[in-house]
Amino acid sequence: MTVTLLAAVAAALLVTAVVALVVRVIARRREWAARLVRRARRPFRVLLVTLAVWIALRASVAPGEVRDGLDHLLHVLTIVAAAWLVCALAIFFEDLGLSRYRVDVADNRVARRVRTQVLIIRRLTVVAIVVVAIGAILLTFPGARAAGASVLASAGLVSIVAGLAAQSTLANVFAGMQLAFSDAIRVDDVVIVETEWGRVEEITLTYVVVHIWDDRRMVLPSTYFTTTPFQNWTRTKSELLGAVELDLDWRATPASMREELDRVLATTDLWDGRVSVLQVTDAVGGFVRIRVLVSAVDAPTLFDLRCLVRERLVAFLHEHSPQSLPRTRVQMVDARELDDAPATRRGAPETEPTGLFSGTAQADTRAGLFTGPISTVPAEERIDLEVDADRWRTRD
């Protein structure tokens, strides 16, 4: 028996070596073959060895308790190895499909969407294969077969109880599937969640991992993105606009600042050449607000560009236009002038308050236009109409 088992193992290893050699020869011309060897080599080898030992055991060992126990064990190992091999093949085909979409290019929106969907499909595939394998293993036990009828009979009640108990978990699972196929967010999307700026690092069936800009990770349930508003900066494209605001003195010169802005943008690769605007957006409270709008290819580049523009403009104002720097003006008044002020006010003639519809002759006339009767027919025309009406009544 030992010789037979060793021969079976040797034969299985020989077949594995021959298959691996053939695939490696193909891999010299095809890149996918090398990936297939890396993914499926170990589960294929385990499956062949298990099948060879199982066949040799049945051929060399007489029926009995020992053979039945080993036969059941090898049966279970065969199911496990087959499930492992199917998972490896499924992952191989998914990786092969993903290799057609590059994410290291400027416009990678389609690639990120496909990657997100494939990752969700991969997890669903692996879970389905594992569930089927566990079910097949349980069916190899006689007791599990007998209990199958009772389990199926009580499946309705069990499903209701399980659904109520796992309501939040199931909601996250369905939300994760919705996120994958609704294209609301994708892997590598730039989002704003909980007032934090970050990039979507991972999307699973139950949660989403967001890589915050300072290398923190924020883990959010999948239902967060289906029930809470959030910002997606790369939903349709990665190009963005950013603002730089400066509160300056009223003596600021926007024209010279525009020239400096053009010089700054012309000397940096961070600007994508689309938008360059400098405007005065406010002039109240003793300050003039200057807003600069610039554009960049993505969010990280835009952040660096805004910092560069702000730094260069501050240096320019400090060196070439110091009068533009913000100032707080205070008017000093002599206390004696304050004491004389009430007397001056008392000596001034008092006047009645005037308004839009009262206080003056013109205001009263204006009020009459809106409050008096409005005649739609002149007086002469009204007299003629009354005479005509009397004539018609006399004829009748």
H or E stretch including 10?
helix 2-27
pLDDT at 251 over 50: yes
More confident residue, 292 or 103: 292
Tell me which amino acid residue 286 is: G
Check residue 195 and give its pLDDT: 87
Is the residue at 365 inside a domain?
no
Task: Compute the residue count for the chain.
Answer: 396
H or E stretch including 178?
helix 167-182
The share of the chain scoring above pLDDT 90, in percent, equals 17
Is the residue at 133 inside a domain?
yes
Q: How many domains, the chain? A: 2
Alpha carbon distance 209, 221 (integer Å): 9
123 and 258 inside one domain: no
Check residue 350 and give its pLDDT: 55
Query: Which strand ranges, in their side-by-side order, compose the sheet holding 288-296?
Result: 240-248, 288-296, 276-282
What confidence tier does 27 reach under pLDDT thresholds 50, 70, 90?
low
Model confidence pLDDT, tens digit, residues 175-215: 877 887 777 888 888 899 988 889 898 888 788 999 998 88
Q: Which residues pair with 198 in a beta bridge?
A: 191, 212
Q: Domain with 308 in it: what CATH number? A: 3.30.70.100
H or E stretch including 282?
strand 276-282
Is the residue at 160 inside a domain?
no
Angle at 112 between CA 107 and CA 117, to 5 degrees: 150
Q: Which of 25-29, 97-101, 227-231, 234-238 has the highest mean pLDDT?
A: 227-231
Q: Classify 192 as helix, strand or coil.
A: strand
Domain boundary among 90, 118, 151: 151
Is the residue at 334 inside a domain?
no
64-78, 267-281, 346-360: which has the minimum mean pLDDT?
346-360
Is the residue at 74 inside a domain?
yes
Is the residue at 158 inside a domain?
no
Check residue 219 and give its pLDDT: 92
Domain boundary among 151, 182, 211: 151
Model confidence pLDDT, tens digit, residues 104-147: 666 666 777 777 778 778 888 888 888 888 888 887 777 666 65
* Virtual torsion, Cα 164, 168, 169, 172, nearest 10 deg: 140
Is the residue at 272 inside a domain?
yes
Domain boundary among 307, 324, 341: 324
- Which among 218, 173, 222, 161 is positioned nearest to 195, based on CA atoms? 218
Instruction: Give the range of the structural domain holding residue 296, as residue numbers without chain letter.
Output: 240-324
136 and 251 inside one domain: no
Is the residue at 363 inside a domain?
no
H or E stretch including 132?
helix 109-139
135 and 245 inside one domain: no
147 and 244 inside one domain: no
6-10, 139-143, 173-177, 248-252: which has the minimum mean pLDDT?
6-10
Check residue 376 and give its pLDDT: 52
9 and 112 inside one domain: yes
13 and 119 inside one domain: yes
Q: Is the pTM of this model over 0.75?
A: no
20 and 132 inside one domain: yes
pLDDT at 94 over 70: yes
Check residue 306 and give its pLDDT: 94
114 and 255 inside one domain: no
